[in-house]
Amino acid sequence: MTFEQIAFAFGLTLFAGLATGIGSAMAFFARKFDPRFLAFA
């Protein structure tokens, strides 16, 4: 395995984790319950 492959895999994993965290933060801080917004988040 080369460094580029490891860095690429790490970058994808980091992106997926950040996307999950941002989506859950949006749902957590929503002021009112809206199923469409929660589905998007």
pLDDT at 41: 64
Question: Would you say the pTM of this structure is higher than 0.75?
Answer: no
pLDDT at 31: 77
Number of domains, the chain? 1
The whole-number average pLDDT for the span 13-31 is 88
CA distances from 18 to 1, 26, 33, 35, 39 (A): 25, 12, 23, 22, 17
Of the candidates 8, 6, 41, 9, the one whose C-alpha atom is nearest the C-alpha of residue 25 is: 41
The answer, yes or no, to whether residue 32 has pLDDT greater than 90, is no
Domain span holding position 17: 3-40
